[in-house]
Amino acid sequence: MNCFFCNREISAVYKHHVVPIICGGAKGEQVPCCLTCSRQIHMLFTVKEIADKSPEETKNHPLMQTYIKWISTRQGEFRVKQSKRIKRKK
């Protein structure tokens, strides 16, 4: 199976909730996602922003596109540490 966001083949599938669980999306739509993309999404966007965006909008966001371009050059599965360089503006 491939990750919806980065399209890399993944063995451990994480189900990304289109509407976060905390916003009532526990039984809602989910898309297959790798752990690194899931972590990146939650690092870049607030729960409200995730709930307000479709998976396609999240995938096409400029910050996600930069990440997807980078991760597509990596092979195999690995864990990405949270970057201290990425700071959300509040």
pLDDT at 76: 66
Structure tokens that stand for 42 in this block = 């939650």
Pick the more confident residue, 35 or 79: 35
Pick the more confident residue, 24 or 65: 65
Q: Tell me the pTM.
A: 0.75
In which band, very low, low, confident or very high, does the pLDDT at 90 lie, cut at 50, 70 and 90? very low
Residues whose CB falls within 8 Å of the CB of residue 74, separated by 6 or more in sequence, listed in order = none
Among the listed ranges 5-14, 20-29, 30-39, 62-71, which one has the minimum average pLDDT value?
A: 20-29
What's the CA gap between 1 and 13, in Å, rounded?
Answer: 8
Q: Where are the domains of the chain?
A: 14-71
Cα angle: 76, vertex 47, 26; to 5 degrees? 80
* Residue 19 CB neighbour total at 10 angstroms: 17
